[in-house]
Every structure is written in C-alpha cells, then in structure tokens.
Structure 1
Amino acid sequence: MLGASLYLAEGTEKNLAFIDRMHDAGVQTIFTSMHIPEDDPVETLDSLKQITKKMNEYGMELMTDVSSGTFDIYNIEKEKAKEFFTDLGVSSLRMDYGFSYQEMKDLAENFKIVLNASTINDEMSEELEAVGFDLSDITVCHNFYPRENTGLGREFLYERNAYLNEKGYRIQAFIVGDKEKRGPIYAGLPTLEEHRTADPLYAYLDLVENFFVDEVLVGDIEMSEESLQRLDEWIDHEVISLPIQDLYEEVPSIFYDEHINRPDVAEDVVRSSQSRIVLRDETIEPLNNDVERPTGTITIDNVDYGRYAGEIQITKKDLPADERINVLGKITDEAIPLLQFIKGRTKFKFIGG
C-alpha cells in the first residue's frame, strides 16, 4: 500500500488540491504532524478541519503525529483528547510520547493507534497486551530523517522489522518524493538512508520485499506524476515500469508492450517470454550489433541467433558485444536496481525513450 504526507504550513488551498491528486492516485492514508516546530499552531486547527472534511468525503484516513505536548500547543486538556480528535476528524493517532498504555487503549476505541517503530520492545508489547490490545491491531511507523547521513542502515532496519513482524505489528516506513522536497533541509525524507536518492519504485519494492513493510508513505511534499503512475502500475497490476535512455532508432513493434520474464530465471539477463513468439514472422536483421552490453542494456537477438531471433532481453551484468545480438537501448542508471525484483513471471515494461 502507498501513503503520502502533507504539511499544514504549506497552506490549506495547496493541501486540499494535494488531497485531490492523492485520491486520484489511489492513496488511502495521509500522514501529517501537529507538532513540527516550523508550523504555525494558530492556523493549524482550522486548516486541519478542512483537510479532514475532504479526506472523509473521499474515504481516506488522516494519521497525525501527536504527543502530550500537542495539548499544550492547542490549550486542550488531555482528558478531552478523544473529543478533541473526534471533532478534528482524525482517523489515526501516531502517539510519540506522554501517553499511558491505558490512555492509548481508551483512545483506540475511536482511533487507529500508531506507535513509534524504533521504540517498541518486549516490555512495551507485554504492557500493551496487558491492557487488552491485540498487537496485530497496532501499526508501528518508522521515523523519516531530514538530515543527510542520519537515516537507518539496512541491517538495523531488517533486524528491527523482523522483530516487529514476528510480534504481529503492522509496519510503516517512508520513502522520498522526487518532485518537491520538504524544507528546511530539502534533502528528502526517507527512513532508510540508502533510499535518499533512490528511484521511488525501487525504494518502495525494497521496503516491501526485503523489510516486512506493510505500507510505504512518501515523506516529502510531492512526487512526480511519472513516479506515482509507476507505483500504481506495480500496486494495482504488479508491473515494473523501467524508464529508458539512449534508445536506438530501430525498435520492434512490441517494444513498449507489457513483457513477462521467463519462469526459468536466467542468471545474466531478463528474458521476455513472449517476444520471439510474437515476432516469429519478422526478420530481425543485424543492426547495432557490435557494441558491448553493460548492465541494464536492452537487446534483441537477430536472425543470426537462429530460433532465438526476436527475443528481447535486459542484461543483469556487463556482457561483451555479440554480432548475433542487436542493442536497442538502456534502462536508466536509477532503474538498474529494479532488475533484482524481476523474478520468474514478473511483468515489466519500458517507458520513455
């Protein structure tokens, strides 16, 4: 699942338009914070009510980051928390600090409870169960890290999430947006440091496939339409969309069609299982067949390869030139890490060029 983030300091009008776009993109959950220092608390409540009204009309859920300090900011008694958040129209509460386990349980009668994934341990899990929680009903959300070099490492995230997954928690984590970054640092808002400059689809797949993450949230203000579409292609249709570059003039008629990797996965290349069948009546003459094939090169076997003529491939390692193989182009450098997720029978397609 894909979620998004909005920030109240961006202004109500901009955020309402953002919700429209996220609804069109199939996003169900949007994260915001009521206690980020840069936000102006005076305008927050009115803006938040307008935002939740629109989201509720769309059937979307707003998750807000709260702490005991939230009540000081808005001059609300803690005992009236349930009434306060109900009036705001909030769906989920990401509870940072300052709440007892019983207070969490009381709020869980009206709201989904989200806890900090970095702080959960055995003692907390036992306390939560002691007040009546089923751990599978609780979501745990990782932080995002605005400053470069402060995001989590792969080993830590894997070990943490393996533990949380074994306990039964539902896990959320953040990836960066590739259009408009959030200030004041503007360096992206990832959970995993390695994802700070990564292709968004790769970051999404990495979290879901390798780190037990159930829902991925975009931490930044905006993501490009192309990236949203590529994520939607995977989430709704399980198709990996590969941006291309340096496309050669001559490409086969089925180049931009949806391809399926063969079930018997090759070590060195991704193999389009249907391409040579569809192109069996076409003659693929030798052309652009004297160049090396670095990782990510898109090729088609020419007539000199006999019965393999017409097979479209993507190299998964550097390979030498072969006169029986025409080079068609290359996927972008940012898309190369996606090749590891093209398993047997995985669907993929080329975009751009």
Structure 2
Amino acid sequence: MGKLGISIYPDKTSEKEIYEYIDRAYKNGFSRIFSCLLSVHESKANIIKKFKGINEYAKSKGFEIILDVAPCVFSELGIDYKDLSFFKETGADGIRLDLGYTGNEESLMTFNPQDLKIEINMSQDTHYLNTIMDYRPKKNNLIGCHNFYPHKYSGLKLEHFLKCTQRFNEYGLKTAVFVTSQNKNTFGPWPVTDGLPTLEIHRNLPIDIQAKHIIALDCIDDIIISNCYPTDNELEALGSMRKDLVEFDVILDKNTPEVEKKILFEELHFNRGDISEYMIRSTQPRVKYSGHDFKIFNAPEILKKGDIVIESSEYGHYAGELQIVLKDMKNSGKSNVVGGIREEEIFIIDYIKPWQKFKFKQYK
C-alpha cells in the first residue's frame, strides 16, 4: 500500500484547527492531503491567500496535496485547462477532476509545465480512462481517486468498486480510496454528514476495519480519511497498522500453549494456493514445528467462522497447521481453537486470496 491521507476543508474551519490536524496526522505517519475547491466560491486572490499558507506548511511536513476541482471551477475562476499555474500558486501538488473533459484535455494537462499530478475520478465504470490513454498522456502525472458519498446508502457497491479499480490497475496507475471517521460531529464539504466512505459497506465500521478491508482487497494504493476530524485513536490505529498485509486482531483462548502462541503471533502466514471452501490454510508452521507434541486442549464440537485452529498431533502430519475457519463445520475432535478473529473484521477473511500473506496480533 502507498500513502495514508487526510482531508482538509479551509472554508469550513479555522486555520488553527487545520494546522493542529496536520501535526496530528504527521505524527502518525500520514503524508497526503485531499483539499476541496468545489465548495469554495471566492476570487483567485482570496483562494491563494486561504490555501497557500496551509499547503506550504503541510508540504514542509512532507505532505502531498491534491485539490479537488471540476470544469465548473475552471470556468468560475477563468482558468484554461492549458494553464494550471494558478493551482501551483496555491502550493498544491496536483488537482483532482471530480468531473472531466473529453479525454484529450486530460492528456494535455498531464504535460503541464508545473508538473502537477492530474487525478481523475475512479468511480464511474465508463471508458473515460481508456479514452484518456488513447490520447497518450504522461502516465507519471496521471493518477486516480474514488469518490466519497455523504448520503446513507449511496456509497459504491463492492463489485462496482472492484470493476472500476481494475481499469486503473491494468494501466498501472496510482489509486486512492476514502474511508470515514466514526467520530461524532464530523464534517466534509457538503451539509450532509452521514459519514463519507467510498464503499457503502464501510459507512458504520470502525475506521481500522475499513482500512484492513481495503488492504485485503489488494488493489488500492492510498487510503484517505474523508471527514474532519478523526479522533487521535483513529489516527493512531491507521498509522500503526500494517499496510503491506492484513494483520487480524485475535481474541486469544486463555489456555493456548506457548508454542501455539508463537505460531499464531510470530509467523508470517499465507493462504495455500489450492484453496478450500471451508478454511484458509497456513501450512508452513507444521513444517517448522514438525515433531512437537500438539496436545488437545480446546476442541469444540462445532468450528465457527472466524475461529483460528491449530491442528493437534492427533491429526498426524497436519499437526501444527494453522487454519482460519470460513464456514461453520463439525470438528473431528482433533482440532484446537486457539482464538477467534475480532467480530467486526471476520468478513475480511472472505477476501484473502490464494498465496496472500497475513498476520495476527492480540486484540486488547
């Protein structure tokens, strides 16, 4: 995964609050900012005055800043798509076209002398991107970012999200998605405040679970918090989590022996390539711990979805193999449940693909 990002709305809050937010995010490893011009209706001079100081401060901390615009903003400000110098004056590193042109304009824009990134909307499943690519853009300056959706039930369906994202992945373009803070009284650029996720299924989930799901999907580079302001705990949760793989939170069975704990928390696991409908299988521990006597200590009659199993020595050469249960099934009486995945993130196990890596950490 690439960068973690935040969103700022200079027309909605004070500069002091924004600077404090940038500092909080910086301390937690964030390095990207989404900033919105769509809801700003002021002169060029006032916009530069409002945005430049904030953007320059953020850049001094190593942030990349993308301004959200549309053709109507160009028209309102009297800006030609062939001259993007105004956006450079604001201190931005790029612009996001919430709505686009015909494809040729976007291609020409990627060659801007200011070397600004041109970010396009990823959430429409059309041939828009293909058309831009037909006009041979400067690919290093072309990136994509999904929308966010303030209205309940208006967010993207997962299948649509994946289909749209695949178009960008096929061209090797950098991608981004929005997750939403669950802090009370958050806001975005518009009056509606039902949360601001890209995916509808994320709207009411804890923010770290949203991010883990995106990481499990393994198709997006940057993850951006869309609403202001997340809690310190939310920033810390995203900043401290693994970005290169899913690290599941585990509620450990109190009777789990030390060797089983080592297998659970110290090993890098991956799903076998010959996948099962009933379980994710991590088979390397049974090789590493071959010969160890894995005694039966917790073998419930039914293995439930989200249970984490380490096979006992009663299962012969399977002894020490770690499994995540995908479907409820009857226990042979030989399988030990060492813990269970945190309830809110059990659904993520359905998205672990063959050979995909994952780890565990104890949930507190």
Give TM-score, length-normalised by structure 1: 0.77
Asked if the contact 1:259–1:272 (Cα under 8 Å) also holds between the matched residues in 2, the reply is no
C-alpha contact 2:307 2:337 (8 A) present in aligned 1: yes
1:341 aligned residue (346, 352, 356): 352
Aligned-partner Cα distance in 2 for 1:43–1:22: 26
**1:13 match: secondary structure:** helix
Query: How far does the alpha carbon of each residue in 1:57-98 deviate from its partner, in whole angstroms, 9 at most, with x for none?
Result: 23321001124655798xx65369744333321111113459
- Counterpart-to-counterpart distance in 1, 2:213 and 2:186: 18
Taking a change above 3 Å as real, the CA distance of residues 179 and 166 of structure 1, as seen in their structure-2 partners, is same
1:175-190 equivalences in 2 (<5 Å): 175-179=179-183, 182-183=186-187, 184-190=191-197
- Does residue 350 in structure 1 map to residue 352 in structure 2? no
* Residues 298 and 329, structure 1, Cα contact 8 Å, conserved in 2: yes
Structure 1 272/164 Cα, relative in aligned 2: closer, same or farther at 3 Å?
Answer: closer
Cα RMSD (Å): 3.9
- In 1: Cα distance, 2:174 partner to 2:221 partner: 6
What amino acid does structure 1 have at the position aligned with 2:247? Answer: S
Q: Name the structure 2 match of 1:5.
A: 6
User: Which stretch of structure 1 is more off in the superposition, 44-53 or 335-344?
Assistant: 44-53
How far apart are the structure 2 equivalents of 1:52 and 1:66?
Answer: 16
SS at match of 1:177: coil
Distance, in Å, in 1 between the alignment partners of 2:47 and 2:235 is 27
CA distance in structure 2 between the partners assigned to 1:258 and 1:191 by the alignment:
33
Residue 324 of structure 1 deviates from its aligned partner by 1.6
Match 1:147 to one of 147, 151, 170: 151
Q: What is the match of residue 256 of structure 1?
A: 265
Amino acid at match of 1:78: I
- Structure 1 runs not aligned, ≥5 long: none
Matched residue type, 1:242:
F
Residues 343 and 19 (structure 1 numbering): CA distance in 2 closer, same or farther, change over 3 Å?
farther
**Unaligned segments of structure 2, at least 5 residues:** none
Q: Aligned pair 1:197/2:200, yes or no?
A: no
Match of 2:247 in 1: 241
> Does the 8 A contact of 2:5 with 2:222 survive in 1?
no
Q: Deviations over 1:190-238 (max 9, x none)?
A: 22223323522343136543xxx443433233334224322xx133xx3
1:286 paired residue number: 296
Tell me if the contact between 2:250 and 2:361 (Cα under 8 Å) persists in the aligned partners. Answer: yes
**What is aligned with 1:115?**
120
Q: For 1:305-325, what per-residue CA distance to the aligned partner results, in whole angstroms no more than 9, with x for missing partners?
A: 344433332212112233222
1:327 Cα deviation after fit: 1.9
CA deviation profile, 1:87-140 (whole Å, cap 9, x unmatched)? 32111111345979659639832121123335696578657866x734563223
How far apart, CA to CA, are the structure 1 residues paired with 2:117 and 2:47?
Answer: 21
TM superposition shift of 1:149: 1.1
Three-state SS of the structure 1 residue aligned to 2:304 is coil
- Are the counterparts in 1 of residues 211 and 223 from structure 2 also a CA contact under 8 Å? no
Partner amino acid for 2:120? L
- What whole-Å deviation, never above 9, does each CA across 1:273-325 have from its counterpart, x for those lacking one? 34345555654432222342111101222343344433332212112233222
Aligned positions of 1:271-350 closer than 5 A: 271-277=281-287, 279=289, 283-339=293-349, 340-341=351-352, 343-344=354-355, 346-350=357-361
- Matched-pair contact (CA < 8 Å) for 2:3–2:221: no
Aligned to 2:62: 59
Q: Distance in 2 between matches of 1:333 and 1:152?
A: 23
Residue correspondence of structure 1 range 39-50 to structure 2 within 5 A = 46=49, 48-50=51-53
Matched, 1:15 2:41: no
Q: For this pair of structures, how many residues does the alignment match? A: 340
Q: Distance in 1 between matches of 2:272 and 2:152?
A: 40
Distance 1:60 1:205 in 2: 21
Instruction: Describe the SS at the equivalent of 1:234.
Output: coil
Could you state the TM-score of these two structures normalised by the residue count of structure 2? Answer: 0.75
SS of 2:243's partner is helix
